[in-house]
């Protein structure tokens, strides 16, 4: 959140994170605009660009902010607008290159391929959103779907290939559901 020249990192439960003052300073330098609310996540990335949450919580890594969505800026509420419009506006708020700010990219029509890549790189998963959805619940449901790469261990003993196959099938069903 950028407000009155100050940057604050606030959780969805309104908890203000105070343990990242250097990140807040860098964010203020990088963000264009006077006031903004940006949805994102704080991460520590390794040399390959993979997030490591243990480094974040143990304060062993350098935190970065991954921006997902622009919700509000300079008196304008962007939440009713479609995701792709909000992300286009977000691109104008963020610098093209930054040491601490990254912008999550929208991947259209290749969700299953992206999921397979997330599996290959041993990432936690991907998030699927409908490109025309506002930033709000739809019929009481979130328009976001988190698709994890590591399925919980089933009661029966199956190998990692079967678990990955099951996860890809779930990703396909979510992509099909979202495109309909």
The answer to pTM > 0.85 is no
- The domain containing residue 165 runs over which residues? 111-179
- Give the domain-ending residue among 77, 103, 129: 103
Q: Do 143 and 173 reside in the same domain of the chain?
A: yes
In angstroms, what CA-CA distances link 81 with 25, 46, 76, 89, 136?
Answer: 29, 34, 11, 11, 10
Contact status, residue 82 vs residue 131, Cβ threshold 8 Å: yes
Question: What pLDDT is recorded for position 138?
Answer: 61
Q: Do 83 and 141 reside in the same domain of the chain?
A: no
Per-residue pLDDT tens digits of the chain, which is 180 residues long = 666 667 888 877 777 888 888 888 888 888 887 788 888 888 888 787 778 777 777 777 788 888 888 888 888 999 999 989 999 999 888 888 887 888 888 787 787 888 888 888 888 888 878 788 888 766 666 667 777 887 554 444 545 555 555 555 555 544 444 443
Q: Do 140 and 72 reside in the same domain of the chain?
A: no
Question: What pLDDT is recorded for position 153?
Answer: 47
Cβ atoms within 10 A of the Cβ of 32, count? 11
For 155-180, give the secondary structure using H, E and C: CCCCCHHHHHHHHHHHHHHHHHHHHC
Residues in the chain: 180
Question: What pLDDT is recorded for position 82?
Answer: 92
């Amino acid at each position: 959140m950028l407000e009155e020249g100050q940057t604050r990192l606030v959780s969805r439960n309104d908890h203000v994170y105070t343990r990242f003052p250097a990140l807040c300073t860098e964010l203020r330098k990088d963000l264009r605009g006077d006031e903004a609310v940006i949805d994102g996540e704080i991460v520590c990335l390794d040399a390959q660009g993979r997030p490591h949450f243990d480094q974040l919580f143990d304060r062993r890594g350098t935190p970065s902010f991954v921006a997902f969505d622009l919700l509000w800026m300079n008196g304008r509420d962007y939440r009713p607008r479609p995701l792709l419009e909000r992300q286009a506006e977000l691109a104008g708020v963020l610098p093209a290159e930054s040491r601490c700010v990254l912008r999550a990219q929208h991947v259209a029509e290749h969700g299953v391929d992206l999921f397979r890549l997330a599996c290959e790189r041993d990432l936690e998963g991907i998030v699927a959103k409908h490109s025309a959805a506002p930033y709000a619940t739809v019929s009481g449901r979130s328009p976001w779907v988190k698709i994890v790469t590591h399925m919980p261990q089933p009661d029966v003993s199956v190998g990692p290939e079967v678990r990955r196959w099951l996860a890809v099938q779930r990703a396909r069903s979510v992509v099909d559901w979202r495109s309909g």
